[in-house]
């Protein structure tokens, strides 16, 4: 079943300039900006400019250029903010069971402190 993209989601509105964001980096295919509710000292969101619901949609339908750009941008930002050492987390929630809040692919870069275990044991 095809996933339905909501063109009025908050990230689509940021991409259209309807909602301001504190840009970290912008490329042809990607926008990165500071999260307005940070969960770590460094909390940056990286989103594709294309209308992709989640990582599944993105990896199935995005061009090679879009996919490459998103992941190269993630790495470049982590290095620029000094997170490559001692470490950082890259997180993308995909779907209801992962508690994805916004139906536009977004990848979190979290760093600046010990982030603990990846998930709590069930």
Active-site entry in 29, 104, 106, 108: 106
CA distance 15 to 27: 12
Active site residue 34: no
Closest residue by Cα to residue 106 from 5, 3, 32, 18: 32
- Assess contact for 29 and 69: CB atoms under 8 A: yes
Residues assigned a catalytic role: 106
């Amino acid at each position: 079943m095809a996933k339905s993209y909501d063109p009025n989601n908050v990230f689509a509105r940021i991409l259209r300039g309807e909602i301001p964001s504190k840009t970290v980096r912008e490329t042809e295919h990607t926008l990165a900006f500071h999260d307005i509710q940070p969960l770590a000292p460094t909390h940056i969101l990286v989103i594709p400019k294309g209308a992709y619901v989640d990582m599944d949609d993105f990896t199935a339908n995005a061009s090679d250029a879009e996919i490459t750009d998103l992941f190269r941008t993630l790495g470049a930002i982590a290095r620029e903010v000094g997170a490559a050492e001692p470490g950082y987390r890259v997180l993308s929630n995909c779907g209801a069971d992962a508690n994805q809040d916004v139906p536009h692919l977004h990848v979190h870069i979290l760093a600046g402190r010990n982030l603990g275990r990846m998930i709590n044991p069930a």
